Homo-oligomer: A and B are copies of this chain.
Amino acid sequence: MSSKQIIQVINPNTSLAMTETIGAAARAVAAENTEIIAVCPAQGVPSIEGHFDEAIAAIGVLEQIKAGREQGVSGHVIACFGDPGLLAARELAQGPVVGIAEAAMHMATLVATRFSIVTTLPRTLIIARHLLQQYGFEHHCAALHAIDLPVLALEDGSGKAQEKVRQRCIQSIREDGCGAIVLGCGGMADLAQELTRELGVPVIDGVTAAVKMVESLLALGLSTSKHGDLDYPIRKKLSGQFERLN
């Protein structure tokens, strides 16, 4: 267990500032023998706020998974709350891959009977809804809320978005009948611990949760099953811009 291991934390958008935030949050919880490499695609979208953005981001995720695998990283985190490209990434990866939305939701069900989600733009709520359904956590979600600010407002230095998140968490705890809050954006990774302390309820960030889940899988000797649905992609000639993924 104390052998060195690398976890690659992939920010699926191209924002370096957010990659920084995410990397720092990941490092803050990583085990001593875990090295965190925080990366983002060279090409893609600066922020992810819809299905179109997600489709583009998924390619960046796959390119990073491939690069990470070639570098010999032990496991991967997809650090965007929609978990873009998750099942594709699992096919491509040798090690475990965990998305931050699933990680946060799993953790939330362990500490509360029902949780609420606080995210950025209203149009991203449908992505969270679909994930709740796909992961099986619909009954564990009390409510979903959007602060109605874009993702990058979290990086503008004003703290305004952070304050709206905080207010929305406080209101949710009072009104939703939930016992925990899931933060619905990788860019909120640095808020969780402080809000947990201030509000006295678990406020859960997926980036840190996912790092611990990958570490757990590694410690258990568990990796993505290569039997059946998530087996390596069938080799076929990828053309053009996708040659990189061959």
Contacts and interface: CB of A to CB of B under 8 A. Distances in A.
Interface residues of A, number: 98
A179 interface: yes
A198 interface: no
B229 A113 contact: yes
A4 interface: no
Interface string A210-241: 00110111011111111111110110111111
A49 interface: yes
A148 to B, nearest CB: 12
Most buried by B among A59, A139, A150, A179: A179
Contact of A59 (B1, B59, B110, B237): B59
Given A1-B31, A130-B134, A213-B110, A225 B180 contact: yes
Contacts of A2: 32
A138 B136 CA distance: 8
A107 B102 CA distance: 11
B230 A112 contact: yes
A196 interface: yes
Given A51-B230, A193-B221, A209-B220, 20 more contacts: A44-B239, A44-B240, A47-B236, A50-B233, A51-B88, A52-B92, A52-B233, A55-B55, A55-B85, A58-B58, A106-B110, A107-B216, A113-B228, A122-B177, A123-B229, A136-B139, A136-B140, A179-B225, A179-B228, A213-B216
